Amino acid sequence: MRRVVVDTDTGIDDAHTLLYLAGRPDAEIVAITSVYGNCSEEDATRNIGYVNGLLGLDVPVARGAAEPLRGPAHIAGYVHGKDGLGDLGRDRPLPRVSAESGPELLVRLADEQPGELDLLALGPLTNLALALRIDPELFTKYRSVVLMGGSGPYAPPGTLLMIDANVNNDPEAARAVFAAPRRELVMVGVNVTAGTILDEHDIAALRATRTPVARFAVEILDAYLDFYQNEWGRRIIPLHDPLAAGVLLDRTFATAWTDGPVNVRGDGFLWRARLMRTHDGLPPAFAYDPAPPTRVITAVDARRFVTDFVAVLTR
């Protein structure tokens, strides 16, 4: 059993992740913290409340960062809809929230239950960086910290990667996270999530299931499909955040990984978190900052995970 604290910028695939975690018999959602990213922090909190209501889930919810450590927030409304759930006009009142901030809740739970909880970060890493300012040893108190973000090792020449949005939204926070001491830090990056595809057959299976969970999962998909059809010419989506949850719960979904230092580096346009290795395992051709080892997932059994994801949401 994994007892999971979820930090989320609750957009469409984040909502799918909460549905997946709630449907897995080996997972318990212990608490949820909100952060900006896919939508505003307030909308992320409203969406947490909506999904929790759908699931009948009563866990602590704490509001987190509304902007990065430095600079304005970048909100991905063009991907997830302005409200984060596809702009379907749902009534999403603010849920009851903790008097603690998101970072404060992350610290307190780790202090109260050291080694018992897993932290799953699905959005920009601002809350985690703020929590590390309170307790620099925070990650040593979680059983594991699993991040949806990063870009893996350097890709083979000529290969383009999807944007590393969660790192790009707050590179300063990401830098603090990858430099922090930890028990286990796992990076599930766009190098593996972009190829983990919910295709037309899988979406049809969700659509044919008339449970409230499956119906909601399909209804919020349209905005996401509208965006990703411009990538592939098909109405299909990558399961970015759900895959990170899957790897947290079942490490056999990951078929290859490398442990090593991760640095956050920019190219003048975008920021990425990268394992300081080339695709063939060599160090990069420049000096880089030392960092404690992060477990960087480099390959996954995408089809087996997608099959499990659909099975959980259609039970």
Provide the annotated active-site residues: 240
Torsion over CA: 178, 65, 245, 273 (sign): negative
Which DSSP helix (H) or strand (E) runs through 4?
Answer: strand 2-8
**Structure tokens belonging to residue 57:** 């889930």
* Residue length of the chain: 315
Task: Say if strands 185-188 and 294-300 run parallel, antiparallel, or are unpaired.
Answer: parallel
26, 1 contact by CB (below 8 A) = yes
Q: Is 162 helix (H, G, I), strand (E, B) or coil?
A: coil
CA angle 41, 46, 50 (to 5 degrees): 145
Which two three-digit tokens encode residue 81?
A: 């809809």
- CA dihedral (9, 131, 67, 57) positive or negative: positive
Element (H, E) at 258: strand 254-260
Query: Which stretches of 252-301 are DSSP H helices?
Result: none
Q: Are 245 and 264 in contact (CB under 8 A)?
A: no
Neighbouring C-beta atoms of residue 165, cutoff 10 Å = 21
How far apart, in whole angstroms, are the C-alpha atoms of residue 125 and residue 5? 14
DSSP states of 214-245 as a string? HHHHHHTHHHHHHHHHHHHSSS-EE-HHHHHH
